[in-house]
Amino acid sequence: MIGTTHDKDVHLAHFAALEAGLDGRKAPWVHALRRGAIARFAELGFPTFEDEEWRHTNVAPIAKTAYRLAPADACAALTPATLEALGIDDLAPNRIVFANGRHAPNLSALGALPAGVRVGSLAAALETDRARIEPHLARHARIEANAFVALNTAFLADGAFVEVPKGVVVLEPIHVVFVAAPSTTRGGAGAPTVSHPRTLVLAGAGSQVTLIETYVTLGESAHFTNAVTEIVADANAVVDHYRLQRESIEASHVSTTQVRLDRACALSSLSISLGGALVRNDANAVLGAEGGEATLNGLYLGTGSQLVDNHTTIDHAMPHCASHELYKGILTGAARGVFNGKILVRKDAQKTDAKQTNKNLLLSPDATINTKPQLEIYADDVKCTHGATIGRLDEDALFYLRSRGIGAERARSLLTYAFASDILRRIKVAALRSRLEEQIFEQLHTANPVKDST
């Protein structure tokens, strides 16, 4: 049994300190949100195995750690060379960078954005744009059921704010980079840090925008990233969202991506999870008006003793909406994967067309996957399909490649990569796709040590 009551205390103490440090003048409405959230976190505590949503993912390593709050001034330690070394400097012409969740203007660079488009610090926007933000912030990713969302919201201070006005098309992708910089902190060296990155995206009616969210670690140390992203797409908006997690192999990473689609929106969110020791991603889409089309795709790689858990929920609340979902996992070593795909079709959501697929490749005898579709259908005129596969590399295909002179290890890497490429080819941002192709090819080679390079 996990002693959750005790484990919360660290975070409650941080909150008390944070509250004491506030001067009371700044955006009191935000602080009301925070107070509600910390109270909810205190009630919920960290989830345990008894919680159905967390049955396969033990968060005790997070709950048991006495994290320090990651310092807010870490951006001074980052330089453009840091971004280059992390391979994230050239993925998109518009870049906004956060160090431990705080805006780093020195590393951010925006191209020529259309008039009215805002890409900036959430902290600044909280002061100046309450009317725009208050109806959305923490209204979609709800604190009620998820302790991690509550915890993130309790520490809400900064993050990314992106707003695309009605009818505006942003051609170039906007790259939001969250760098965890645990090792640059002063004092208390060695104690792991926690940060709570936050993103709010408002896509106006008929707008189009492409967003890339990247999570990386400076260095190899342990830390905890607890991220929440809310994306709100108004009628007829087209939003392409990519989420790339390649933090330190020692990191714990918990995230919620909550998207809401209005009438006739097309929103796709593609998640790539490469790093982290303990990773849990919740991706939730609400189809809140007729004619919406939501796509949730994902690729997760696990090696060593990594645990990668992806939970998705697609809420078909209204009729005539479609959802497509393809998640693929490659697990080797003693890695563990979890996929839980919930599709909720509410009573009014007639003519729903939902398709979910989860495919897993297990490359070693010790790798495991728990995959579960979870369909809750209350309407009677709907089309819902789901399928899950767990497999190993195809022996016939391996022999075919080898019979042409390709070495056994290379053949394995090729087939593994081919499995992943099904997701990678869906990435429309060419720079991101080719960078990921390189990184994933590299990672698969490392996971399957190449004895024969031919």
Residues that bind another protein (CB under 8 A): 394-397, 399-408, 410-411, 414-415, 417-422, 452, 454
Residue 24 vs 453, nearer CB to another protein: 453
User: From CA 77, how far away is CA 346, in angstroms rounded?
Assistant: 49
Burial 432-444 (b: 16+ CB within 10 A, else e): bbebbbebbbebb
By C-beta, is 187 or 453 nearer to another protein? 453
Q: Give whichever of 134 and 437 is closer to another protein, judged by the CB atom.
A: 437
* Cα 158 to Cα 101: distance, rounded to the nearest angstrom: 6
Give the residue with the Cβ less far from another protein, 162 or 424. 424
Residue 49 or 417: the one with the smaller Cβ distance to another protein is: 417
Nearer to another protein, 142 or 402 (CB): 402
**Smallest gap, in angstroms, from Cβ of residue 49 to another protein?**
37
Nearest distance, CB of residue 405 and another protein, angstroms:
4
Largest CA distance in the chain: 73
CB of 21 to another protein, least distance (A): 53
| CA atoms of 336 and 426, how far apart (whole Å) | 25
The CA distance from 64 to 369, in Å, is 25
Nearer to another protein, 378 or 400 (CB): 400
- Report whether 345 contacts 376 (CB < 8 A): yes
The distance of closest approach from Cβ of residue 201 to another protein in the complex, given in angstroms and rounded to an integer, is 32
Half-sphere exposure of 348 (CA within 13 A, CB side): 7
CB of 308 to another protein, least distance (A): 21
Helix axes 4-21, 28-44, angle to 10 degrees: 170
d(CA 5, CA 345): 36
Q: Which is nearer to another protein, 39 or 408 (CB)?
A: 408
Q: Which amino acid belongs to residue 78?
A: L
Provide, rounded to whole angstroms, the least separation between the CB of residue 341 and another protein: 22
- C-alpha span between 161 and 287 (Å, rounded): 22
CA–CA distances in Å: residue 40 to residues 35, 152, 226, 348: 9, 11, 16, 31
State the nearest-atom distance from the C-beta of 394 to another protein, in Å: 8
Among 320, 308, 237, 236, residue whose Cα is nearest residue 273: 308
86 vs 408, beta carbon nearer another protein: 408
CB of 431 to another protein, least distance (A): 21
Considering the complex, what minimum distance in angstroms separates the CB of residue 295 from another protein?
A: 20
- Residue 391: Cβ within 10 Å count: 10
Question: Which is closer to another protein, CB of 50 or CB of 395?
Answer: 395
The CB-of-451 to another protein minimum distance in angstroms stands at: 12
Residue 325 · residue 287 · CB < 8 Å: no
Sign of CA dihedral 212, 208, 283, 448: negative
Number of helices followed by number of strands (H, E) in the chain: 10, 21
Q: Put the strands of the sheet holding 266-273 in their side by side order.
A: 102-103, 94-99, 174-180, 208-217, 238-246, 266-273, 293-302, 322-331, 353-362, 383-391
